[in-house]
Amino acid sequence: MAKETGISAFGAYIPRLRLKRQAAAMANAWLAPALIAKAKGFRSMANWDEDSLTMAVEACRDLLGPDDNREHVDSLAFASTTMPFADRQNSAIVAAALTLKEDMRSWDASASMRAGTSALIQAFVSARAGEGSALVVASDKRRARAASAQELDYGDGAAAFLVGQGEGIAKFLGSHTLTVDFADHFRGASEEFDYHWEERWIRDEGFAKLVPQTVGALFKKTGAKPSDVKHFILPCPFPRIVGGLAKSCGVSPDAVRDSLAEEVGATGAAHPFLMLAHALEEAKPGEKILLAQFASGCDALLFEATKDIKAKVSHRRGVSGHLSERQEEENYMKFLVFNGLIEWEKGMRAEQDRKTALTTLYRNREAILGLVGGKCSKTGTIQFPRTRISVNPNDPAVDTQEPYKFAERRAKILSWSGDYLSFGVNPPNHYGMMVFDEGGRIMMDMTDVSPGEVETGMLVRMVFRVKDVDEKRGFTRYFWKAVPVR
Q: What does the pLDDT read at residue 1?
A: 46
Contact predicate 258/268, CB 8 Å: no
Q: What is the pLDDT of residue 449?
A: 96
Say what the pLDDT of residue 2 is. Answer: 62
The pLDDT value recorded for residue 312 is 84
Calpha distance 372→70 (Å, rounded): 14
C-alpha 416/C-alpha 11 separation (Å) is 32
pLDDT in tens, 221-272: 999 999 999 999 999 999 999 999 999 999 999 999 999 999 999 999 999 9
Q: Note the pTM of the prediction, 2 decimals.
A: 0.97
Residue 68's pLDDT is: 79
Burial class (CB in 10 A: 0-12, 13-18, 19+), 229: buried
The whole-angstrom separation of Cα 59 and Cα 159 is: 5
Q: In whole angstroms, what is the distance from residue 137 CA to residue 274 CA?
A: 10
Measured between alpha carbons, how far is 66 from 61 in angstroms, rounded to an integer?
A: 8
In our burial notation (b when 16+ CB lie closer than 10 A, e otherwise), range 106-133 reads bebbbebbbbbbbbbbbbbebbbeeebb
Q: What's the CA gap between 415 and 402, in Å, rounded?
A: 28
Distance of CA 159 to the CA centre of its chain: 5
Mean pLDDT of the chain: 96
Q: Which residues pair with 72 in a beta bridge?
A: none
Spans of the chain, pLDDT less than 50: 1
Helix (H) or strand (E) holding 208: helix 208-222
pLDDT at residue 117 in the model: 98
Q: Which residues contact 195 (CB under 8 A, 6 or more apart)?
A: 185, 186, 187, 188
Output the DSSP codes for 258-283. P--TTTT-B-GGGHHHHHHHHHHHH-
Set out the domains of the chain in order of their start, with CATH numbers: 5-338 (3.40.47.10), 348-371+406-484 (2.40.50)
Which pLDDT value is given to residue 113? 97
The gap between the terminal CA atoms of the chain, to the nearest Å, is 49
| Residue 89 and residue 129 in contact, taking contact as beta carbons nearer than 8 Å | no
> Do the Cβ atoms of 102 and 71 come closer than 8 Å?
no
